[in-house]
Amino acid sequence: MIGITKPQIQTLKLGQSDNSANMQSTRVNVLGIAGSMRKGSFSTHALKLVLEEAKRYGSDSRVLDLREVRLPIYDPSGSVSEELYREVNGNRENVLDTVTKDINWADAFVLATPDYHGSMSGAMKNFLDYFWEEFAGKTFGYIIASHEKGLTVADQMRTSVRQCYGWSMPYNISINGGNDFNSTGNPINSALANRIKMLARDLVTYGTLIRRQFLQDVMNKEVSDTYASRYREYYN
Ligand SMILES: Cc1cc2nc3c(=O)[nH]c(=O)nc-3n(C[C@H](O)[C@H](O)[C@H](O)COP(=O)(O)O)c2cc1C
């Protein structure tokens, strides 16, 4: 990543091998990425439902809405574009700085995107291009608004995440636009309502286990035969 902020191991308590004993005392941080530029987006709406539900299982959650936080097209040369700056309450703010803090805060992610030509939105792909080590050892869930279930979209997001050594939930949530919600935004499709609860619960449960183990392995320099050992310098 070209961000400025280095992460700190602070979000999960470490050092206990008995995961069940430690489970009650931890709160996992879940960051939802809203990848639609459309006002009234179905994928963003479903994302907010999942994050709200995830709080019931002991998570803190935030949304990073790419419609509001506009990241310029990623430039690997690292040149700092004027487009990265915006005014917030009279202060000049570097958007990438703010986004990077959220990414480092997160232990798990939910990526929500519309299906565009069988793929994720350009905004979502551009967001993913900015980060890589930050995604390692974190768990990802997927939401796709599509008229065709969006399986190819989910596969492509999974590929990007795997490439960065992130872990993916083995299923997705797919929304078929207005067919799945009533006028007040509640799911009218019971299968979708169940899947929202399932993703929320699984993301918190599996996301906590994976993140905790990853951080333990990063910290434990005596263990060398783990992918986590590659991230010791990064987390140092
Ligand atoms: C440029 C573009 C390409 C699209 N391509 C597809 C597609 O390949 N398959 C599909 O089912 N829907 C496609 N759609 C429809 C959107 O995926 C659908 O309207 C979705 O619900 C929008 O999600 P949102 O409400 O979160 O923005 C496309 C829409 C646009 C604007």
Residue nearest to atom 8 of ligand 1 (CA): 117
pLDDT, tens only, 106-124? 999 999 999 999 999 999 9
Residue nearest to atom 1 of ligand 1 (CA): 116
- Ligand 1 within 6 A of 115 CB? yes
Residue nearest to atom 7 of ligand 1 (CA): 117
Considering the entire predicted model, what is its pTM? 0.91
pLDDT, tens only, 26-81? 689 999 999 999 999 999 999 999 999 999 999 999 999 999 999 999 999 877 77
Per-domain residue ranges of the chain? 26-235
- Ligand 1 within 6 A of 231 CB? no
3-state secondary structure the chain: CCCCCCCCCCCCCCCCCCHHHHHCCCCEEEEEEECCCCCCCHHHHHHHHHHHHHHCCCEEEEEEECCCCCCCCCCCCCCCCHHHEEEECCEEEEHHHHHHHHHHHCCEEEEEEECECCECCHHHHHHHHCCCHHHCCCEEEEEEECCCCCHHHHHHHHHHHHHCCCEECCCCEEECHHHHECCCCCECCHHHHHHHHHHHHHHHHHHHHHHHHHHHHHHCCCCCCCHHHHHHHHHC
- Ligand 1 within 6 A of 177 CB? yes
- Ligand 1 within 6 A of 39 CB? no
Superfamily of domain 26-235: Flavodoxin domain (3.40.50.360)
Provide, rounded to the nearest whole percent, the portion of the chain with pLDDT above 70: 89
